[in-house]
Structure 1
Amino acid sequence: MNTKYINLIDQTYYFPQEEFTLEDDGLKFHDIPLMDLVEKYGSPLKFTYLPKISDNINKAKEWFRLAMEKNNYKGQYHYCYCTKSSHFKPVLNEALKNDIHIETSSAFDINIVEKLKESGRVKDNTYVICNGFKRDQYISNIARLINNGHQNCIPIIDNYEELDLLTDAIDDTFKVGIRIASEEEPKFEFYTSRLGIGYKNIVPFYDNQIRNNEKVELKMLHFFINTGIRDNAYYWNELVKCLKVYVRLKKVCPSLDSLNIGGGFPIKNSLAFDYDYQYMIDEIINQINIACQEADVPVPNIFTEFGSFTVGESGGAIYEILYQKQQNDREKWNMIDSSFITTLPDTWAINKRFIMLAINRWNDEYERVLLGGLTCDSDDYYNSEQNMNAIYLPKYKKDKPLYIGFFNTGAYQESIGGYGGLQHCLIPHPKHILIDKDENGNITTELFSEQQKAEDLLNILGYGPGENGKATSL
Structure 2
Amino acid sequence: MLDFRPATITFGRYTQYYSLRQKVKNKYIDLIEQTFDFPQPEFSVSNHELRFHDIPLMDLVKQYGSPLKVTYLPKITENILRAKEYFGTAIRKSGYKGKYYYCYCTKSSHYSFVLREALKNDIHIETSSAFDINIVESLAKKGLISKTNHILCNGFKMPDYIRNIANLINAGFSNTVPIFDNIEEPDSLAPLLQKPCDVGIRIASEEEPKFTFYTSRLGIGYQDIVPFYKEKLKDNPKFRLKMLHFFINTGISDSAYYWNELAKSVRVYCELKKVCPELNSLNIGGGFPTKNTLGFAYDYQYMVDEIIHQIKTMCNAEGVPEPDIFTEFGSFTVSESGAHIFSIKAQKRQNDRERWDMIDSSFMTNLPDSWAINSKFILLPINNWDKEYERVLLGGLTCDSDDFYNAEQHVNAIFLPKTSKESPLYIGFFHTGAYQDSIGGVGGLQHCLIPNPKHVIINKTQDGSFTSELFMEEQKPEDVLRILGY
TM-score category of the 2 structures, normalised to the smaller one: over 0.9
**1:132 maps to amino acid:** G
Structure 1 contact 47–315 (Cα < 8 Å) conserved: yes
Render the CA deviation track for 1:238-292: whole Å, top value 9, x for unaligned. Answer: 0000011000000110100000000000000000000000000000000000011
Counterpart in 2 of 1:138?
A: 161
Render the CA deviation track for 1:39-97: whole Å, top value 9, x for unaligned. Answer: 01000000000000000000000000000001100100000000000000000000000
Counterpart in 1 of 2:347?
A: 324
- In the TM superposition, 1:32-431 aligns within 5 A as 32-385=55-408, 388-431=411-454
SS where residue 78 of structure 1 aligns? strand
Larger C-alpha radius of gyration, 1 or 2?
Answer: 2
The RMSD of aligned alpha carbons is 0.8
1:5 paired with 2:5, answer no
Counterpart in 1 of 2:39?
A: 16
Counterpart in 2 of 1:432?
A: 455
Render the CA deviation track for 1:102-149: whole Å, top value 9, x for unaligned. Answer: 000000000000000111111121000000000000000000000001
**1:214 maps to amino acid:** P
The alpha-carbon deviation at position 388 of structure 1 amounts to 4.2
The alpha-carbon deviation at position 387 of structure 1 amounts to 9.1
**Separation in 1 of the partners of 2:355 and 2:158?**
50
Counterpart in 1 of 2:10?
A: none
Counterpart in 1 of 2:8?
A: none
SS where residue 264 of structure 2 aligns? helix
Structure 2 contact 369–436 (Cα < 8 Å) conserved: yes
SS where residue 471 of structure 2 aligns? strand
**Separation in 2 of the partners of 1:180 and 1:296?**
22
**Separation in 1 of the partners of 2:61 and 2:296?**
27
SS where residue 228 of structure 1 aligns? coil
**Separation in 2 of the partners of 1:336 and 1:442?**
30
Normalized against structure 2, the TM-score is what? 0.95
Render the CA deviation track for 1:333-375: whole Å, top value 9, x for unaligned. Answer: 0000000000000001001010000100000000000000000
**Separation in 1 of the partners of 2:238 and 2:340?**
49
**2:150 maps to amino acid:** Y
Q: How many residues align?
A: 463
**Separation in 1 of the partners of 2:477 and 2:145?**
37
Structure 1 contact 351–386 (Cα < 8 Å) conserved: no
1:444 paired with 2:453, answer no
**1:257 maps to amino acid:** N
Task: Give structure 2 stretches of 5+ with no counterpart.
Answer: 1-23
For structure 1, which segment, 206-215 or 258-267, has the greater mean C-alpha deviation from structure 2 after superposition? 206-215
**Separation in 2 of the partners of 1:73 and 1:130?**
27
Structure 2 contact 251–286 (Cα < 8 Å) conserved: yes
**Separation in 1 of the partners of 2:169 and 2:258?**
34
**Separation in 2 of the partners of 1:231 and 1:288?**
15
Q: Given the superposition, is the C-alpha separation of residues 386 and 424 from structure 1 closer, same or farther in structure 2, using an over 3 Å criterion?
A: farther
1:461 paired with 2:477, answer no
**Separation in 1 of the partners of 2:399 and 2:161?**
39
The alpha-carbon deviation at position 151 of structure 1 amounts to 1.1
For structure 1, which segment, 13-22 or 388-397, has the greater mean C-alpha deviation from structure 2 after superposition? 388-397
The alpha-carbon deviation at position 385 of structure 1 amounts to 2.1
The alpha-carbon deviation at position 437 of structure 1 amounts to 1.2
**2:284 maps to amino acid:** I
**Separation in 2 of the partners of 1:171 and 1:439?**
47
Render the CA deviation track for 1:437-465: whole Å, top value 9, x for unaligned. Answer: 123332100000000000000000000xx
The alpha-carbon deviation at position 396 of structure 1 amounts to 1.4
The alpha-carbon deviation at position 389 of structure 1 amounts to 2.0
Structure 1 contact 83–307 (Cα < 8 Å) conserved: yes
**Separation in 2 of the partners of 1:160 and 1:211?**
13
Normalized against structure 1, the TM-score is what? 0.97
**1:240 maps to amino acid:** A
